Structure 1
């Protein structure tokens, strides 16, 4: 390595002189770097086209086969009795369905769970009761049908009747009149009763407010309820039930459900519903009854309780009925053929019937299945949009202007430019990299040829896109981007679809017969193959999106790799050249320094 102490003896700007000399030496390296950048940009331009081309091809992957177009619509003459839907495999036509009986699940219910609905205190009232905020015995909380409010009794000294009246007034102030009645029992204990329909009285609870002893002073317990509380621990609800719950488990449909001392009715029902018993258990707090229903319908749907003593205790405690309606099958006649079905949803020949009610035993319900012409039109319209988008991109790349004076910038050139100027310059430099590209031109011509093609094995009046109102745009000067794009005459296309939907579909999807010609293929089959072939060709030229730009398995990548090798080799030579210049200038600098020293000595001798 040459030591670079430039210009110490001579005072010359050696660095600047070497830099100017190297600028000329670096010209071949700059040209290689610019060529390398152009190839990288070209590879990326190819890959960008390939992304669009792959998306276009993939959109045709299923559409090129006739089965994916076979959408149908179906209608029922009475959807309150039979609802219908259909899939593509359903044949167009009319069906008649007679429903004699719906499929039923197994079910059973209980009697009233609550043996006595009451919210009674346990301590008799006495005269001379002192109620005050200071005594912390004037505030409590009441929940009525899920709505919770704070009740505040007016301060004072009360006799029995006066205290009842003061509590009633406080409750009315919180909930309004005629919502809750406050009274006493024969033993002078206090009671609360919700008012309303005697058959559907709402739930009523009394709760302690933190810091106050009101609830216990009045003879109640915290969270005491009027009716059975399905969310409370069962041990706190014992007085509400018709008998003592001693069961630690019960059996339903062969599944053992365990009961613990922390269970509520809600938690027990959750265990049942999440078990393999295949049933749903539900408690209705309004009717105060438990219902059990099977999750399935049909004659295999059963509810069977265990015969053990523990199960019997559970059933008796909650008044569960052992008289069970077991499941049964639906009885249906479709197009004259009788059948029994475990479900009320039946699928036959691509048509799904959802049974809602029994039908007239003679006329039944009429179901019409038709080809979904709107879906066919939408599929074609969507394809045309994607085709035009792809063709527009190809046309743009093929006709993109070339600015030959705008070469990729070197690092030194970028140092003297702003970011905006660099971006604008590089946009010009990238333009036209695929101008008149042979691969893209072949694809464009292939796509246009397919759009104009005639499917030779189809009827002459319905064997091309033109026959159904799809034509290509002409070339217009200064509008090359839209040249060859497809246009749809909506009225003609919809008319063709309505008259012969399958005939229209075949133009797009017709399959080549054994030994047939390429012209036998439907338009989408041809487009798919053209796109697929071009994708492979571009990958061979520029690689995939995940490949490095110097991947030697593709044409441009091999060129980039070779240039990179040349750049490394040339850079080594330039480094050696630069060292040579510094060495030469160093020797010159030393010689000048020695000469200056001799001159100084001679001048000293002459003085």
Structure 2
């Protein structure tokens, strides 16, 4: 817009004059602006109402099906032991329930540390020392995240150590007030179970000084002592020796000793028996052991054989030579098993998209699995593999019971060192060379699943909530061994009553709002304000003025009248159920109050006779509850037909046409086109105002120029005349 400087010579208020001259054009522009603003408000009003109509429409859609009305309730004979709820698919009747155990989260309460230890204290302050050649190593083993090794250094702070634990798949924190480290599983039940184990002597010392060497770990070390001894006392090619294994060799030896000592056996038979006995070194050695004790083979009982088997086993020695030999054999076994699992993991990772890739992968997996099976056919390798998996390993996942990932990700020599350290530690404890009973131990609670027995079948869960065939049991306490709870499931008529009431409440809310909009007071003399008009009013006055217009936008609207009529007519329909005519008012005592008895704009709202929460109808006969108690299926059948009819009628109103979009009950397309037309008209008249203003300002500028020139000429003549 050009800069306009006028009235300098004439002294006229040019802007006011030009404004008056173009006022007719400005009035036209403002008229269309106000109409567009009003239309915009109307669009917003319809969008808000339409969203409510659509929400009701989707709710009604669900009520067309039986599943929406299937409501069940459940009760249990002892609510202190269990809380039970029933879904629609739960079976009516009485069921039996026992709560065997509750779900627990794995948890370690660390031993109390010195009062001067803070989260910023270094581990050296706890007396933990690590050297440059040997690290203090522990491992965190979780059921869900595998096994993670942690190297502990004396320069590490307590907070840094806590962070390492958290990274390893558990939840840990240091309570500086109580001076204890707390560690828990990330989820309840067996899935969240974990353990903290030492990998070497320094790691054991660190766990102890951190207060994290738990009673469970000490028991595990004790178990390692027995299992390790079983493995190391492998003798004579007889597999893994046990006390019962030696007893079997004694029985074997007795067969031949009875022949050798027999008075009736021939010399040839005795010689053959001696040869057979010498063929088996284990049998020969146990026979010599008993002979040295002067045992009478002929009177040897099974009880004595068992006792002597344990005696021989207990006398087995584990010395440095046997440990060295054991480690050598252990490494061989680990190598064989791990190499086979590495090959299996590589086969599983092969491409699997095309048919050729699938064939090649399947062949590779089969070949690798065969190598795994072959490696585990060796009794020693199989026994070591089982021990290592139980002590250090983690399954692939909750659904994959294999340990293939654990084996393929392990280091052979480090795994052998960990096994030998643990066995050596167990032997030291067993022999009394090391006493861990007086160290600062922590207390471990194992993560366990909840277990219930429902109708004779056992179910488990990582949480205390277990759902079976629509019945949800929340275990609260364990039942006694001879205690059986009764669970009763039945139809919930109260819930069905409330569902019907909720449906009517939604209908009433929508219908009352539409009635209010349709019967709104007229705002005939009110139009949207211009900026100049707003400048002359306060904020509250502007708000009231505009609200008056907005409240009346859908007054006597034909589209609104149509949707109101559709819904009211649908709700008044009758349907035949089991040969009888059903209706809301006649059969179920659900009716409107009419315009004379109802509150303003609530004449079409439905009320339930006998509803204790409705002051208008609470004193009347409750036909709905009677019908639900007498024949709930018939009530449901009627409601399905009623809501299906209402849904179909609404659906017909919400179909797309040339003037409205789908799922709308007003002419949104038509309004959008009208809004666009207003924009064009406003621009047209704005351009006309600008053009007329420019023309008038140009004429006034010419006048000013002529006046200025005349003034200059007049001044010159006056000057010449000597004025």
Q: Give the alignment's TM-score, normalised by structure 1.
A: 0.59
User: How far 1:556 sits from its partner (Å)?
Assistant: 0.9
Distance of aligned partners of 1:80 and 1:309 in 2 relative to their CA distance in 1, 3 Å threshold: farther
Q: Which structure shows the bigger proportion of residues in helix conformation? A: 2
Matches within 5 A, 1:450-599: 450-457=570-577, 460=580, 462=582, 464=584, 466-476=586-596, 480-489=600-609, 490=611, 491-508=622-639, 510=640, 521-523=641-643, 525-531=644-650, 534=653, 541=660, 554-592=669-707
8 Å Cα contact 2:54/2:663 also seen in 1: no
Distance of aligned partners of 1:328 and 1:350 in 2 relative to their CA distance in 1, 3 Å threshold: closer
What's 1:52 paired with?
52
What is the aligned counterpart of 1:310 among 415, 421, 434?
421
Could you say what secondary structure the match of 2:53 adopts?
helix
8 Å Cα contact 2:575/2:581 also seen in 1: no
Distance of aligned partners of 1:593 and 1:89 in 2 relative to their CA distance in 1, 3 Å threshold: same
Matches within 5 A, 1:34-49: 34-49=34-49
8 Å Cα contact 1:249/1:310 also seen in 2: no
Q: Take 1:67 and 1:262, find their aligned partners in 2: how far apart are those partners?
A: 62
Q: Take 2:87 and 2:147, find their aligned partners in 1: how far apart are those partners?
A: 43
The runs of 5 or more residues in structure 2 that have no matched partner are 171-183, 197-206, 221-388, 393-417, 430-434, 612-621
What's 1:279 paired with?
193
Distance of aligned partners of 1:87 and 1:585 in 2 relative to their CA distance in 1, 3 Å threshold: same
What's 1:408 paired with?
528
Q: Take 2:148 and 2:33, find their aligned partners in 1: how far apart are those partners?
A: 78
Q: Take 1:574 and 1:530, find their aligned partners in 2: how far apart are those partners?
A: 50
Asked if 1:31 is matched to 2:16, the reply is no
8 Å Cα contact 1:406/1:429 also seen in 2: yes
> Which stretch shifts more, 470-479 or 590-599?
590-599
Distance of aligned partners of 1:424 and 1:365 in 2 relative to their CA distance in 1, 3 Å threshold: closer
Distance of aligned partners of 1:73 and 1:6 in 2 relative to their CA distance in 1, 3 Å threshold: same
User: How far 1:583 sits from its partner (Å)?
Assistant: 2.7
Matches within 5 A, 1:80-99: 84-96=84-96
Q: Take 2:103 and 2:704, find their aligned partners in 1: how far apart are those partners?
A: 108
User: How far 1:394 sits from its partner (Å)?
Assistant: 0.4
The runs of 5 or more residues in structure 1 that have no matched partner are 107-144, 147-201, 210-222, 224-229, 237-244, 295-302, 511-520, 546-551
Could you say what secondary structure the match of 1:475 adopts?
helix
Q: Take 1:105 and 1:16, find their aligned partners in 2: how far apart are those partners?
A: 86
What is the aligned counterpart of 2:215 among 279, 290, 303?
290
Deviation by residue 1:470-503 (Cα, 9 ceiling, x = unmatched): 2112013995411201112223333332333333
Could you say what secondary structure the match of 2:594 adopts?
coil
What's 2:504 paired with?
384
Q: Take 1:231 and 1:92, find their aligned partners in 2: how far apart are those partners?
A: 65
User: How far 1:389 sits from its partner (Å)?
Assistant: 1.5
Aligned residues: 453
8 Å Cα contact 2:140/2:195 also seen in 1: no
Q: Take 1:2 and 1:589, find their aligned partners in 2: how far apart are those partners?
A: 17
Could you say what secondary structure the match of 1:366 adopts?
strand
User: How far 1:289 sits from its partner (Å)?
Assistant: 6.9
Could you say what secondary structure the match of 1:482 adopts?
coil
Q: Take 1:415 and 1:329, find their aligned partners in 2: how far apart are those partners?
A: 71
Q: Take 1:562 and 1:382, find their aligned partners in 2: how far apart are those partners?
A: 44
Asked if 1:420 is matched to 2:535, the reply is no
User: How far 1:558 sits from its partner (Å)?
Assistant: 0.9
Could you say what secondary structure the match of 1:585 adopts?
helix
What's 1:17 paired with?
17
> Which stretch shifts more, 49-58 or 271-280?
271-280
Asked if 1:357 is matched to 2:488, the reply is no
User: How far 1:329 sits from its partner (Å)?
Assistant: 12
User: How far 1:564 sits from its partner (Å)?
Assistant: 1.0
Could you say what secondary structure the match of 2:32 adopts?
helix
Matches within 5 A, 1:432-447: 432-447=552-567
8 Å Cα contact 1:82/1:354 also seen in 2: yes
Q: Take 1:593 and 1:399, find their aligned partners in 2: how far apart are those partners?
A: 65
Could you say what secondary structure the match of 1:522 adopts?
helix
Q: Which structure shows the bigger proportion of residues in strand conformation? A: 1
Could you say what secondary structure the match of 1:456 adopts?
strand
User: How far 1:384 sits from its partner (Å)?
Assistant: 2.2
8 Å Cα contact 1:346/1:352 also seen in 2: yes
Could you say what secondary structure the match of 2:391 adopts?
coil
Q: Take 2:77 and 2:124, find their aligned partners in 1: how far apart are those partners?
A: 47
Distance of aligned partners of 1:458 and 1:253 in 2 relative to their CA distance in 1, 3 Å threshold: same
Q: Take 1:398 and 1:22, find their aligned partners in 2: how far apart are those partners?
A: 40
Q: Take 1:434 and 1:105, find their aligned partners in 2: how far apart are those partners?
A: 59
8 Å Cα contact 1:250/1:314 also seen in 2: no
Matches within 5 A, 1:67-86: 67-78=67-78, 84-86=84-86
Q: Take 2:722 and 2:135, find their aligned partners in 1: how far apart are those partners?
A: 134
User: How far 1:308 sits from its partner (Å)?
Assistant: 2.8
User: How far 1:247 sits from its partner (Å)?
Assistant: 9.1
Distance of aligned partners of 1:291 and 1:556 in 2 relative to their CA distance in 1, 3 Å threshold: same
User: How far 1:281 sits from its partner (Å)?
Assistant: 5.4
User: How far 1:435 sits from its partner (Å)?
Assistant: 1.4
User: How far 1:5 sits from its partner (Å)?
Assistant: 3.9
User: How far 1:469 sits from its partner (Å)?
Assistant: 2.6
User: How far 1:409 sits from its partner (Å)?
Assistant: 2.4
Q: Take 2:449 and 2:598, find their aligned partners in 1: how far apart are those partners?
A: 75
User: How far 1:588 sits from its partner (Å)?
Assistant: 3.9
User: How far 1:369 sits from its partner (Å)?
Assistant: 0.6
CA-atom RMSD in angstroms = 5.4
Q: Take 2:140 and 2:528, find their aligned partners in 1: how far apart are those partners?
A: 82
Could you say what secondary structure the match of 2:479 adopts?
coil
What's 1:368 paired with?
488
Asked if 1:7 is matched to 2:7, the reply is yes
Distance of aligned partners of 1:458 and 1:432 in 2 relative to their CA distance in 1, 3 Å threshold: farther
Q: Take 1:247 and 1:599, find their aligned partners in 2: how far apart are those partners?
A: 112
Deviation by residue 1:151-204 (Cα, 9 ceiling, x = unmatched): xxxxxxxxxxxxxxxxxxxxxxxxxxxxxxxxxxxxxxxxxxxxxxxxxxx979
Deviation by residue 1:77-104 (Cα, 9 ceiling, x = unmatched): 345677643211112223356x6x9479
